[in-house]
Amino acid sequence: MKALITHAGIKELVIEAAAGKKELQEIAPTDDLFEFGYDSISIVNLIEILENKYGIYLEPEKNIKKLNTIENIYNILIEKSAATYAGGHFF
């Protein structure tokens, strides 16, 4: 059973992927991760962590530029989970 997708859960993973950067503790869902010190290595780490936690392939080649806010990540995960799990049974 995969984890429930929430903004708070994604924020925890964002912080984890950036090796716990303290600046990210104050990030809001619509803030740009790169303005808070994120870099390409952090994004690659985040994609791997998100895919493992939620069991959803994020298609980084299509979505890499969209993975810059918690809100965008949430929307992509919800969209992909809806496409993956038929009948509205997400988890």
Q: Is the C-alpha dihedral spanning 86, 88, 89, 91 positive or negative?
A: positive
Which pLDDT tens digit goes with each residue over 44-85? Answer: 889 999 999 999 998 888 888 899 999 999 999 999 888 765
All structural domains of the chain: 7-86 (1.10.1200.10)
User: What are the backbone angles phi and psi of residue 37, rounded to the nearest 5°?
Assistant: 95, 5
77 near 10, Cβ under 8 Å? yes
Per-residue pLDDT at 1 exceeds 70: no
Which pLDDT tens digit goes with each residue over 7-48? Answer: 999 999 998 888 878 888 889 999 999 998 888 888 888 999
Enter the pTM of the model: 0.82
74 near 10, Cβ under 8 Å? yes
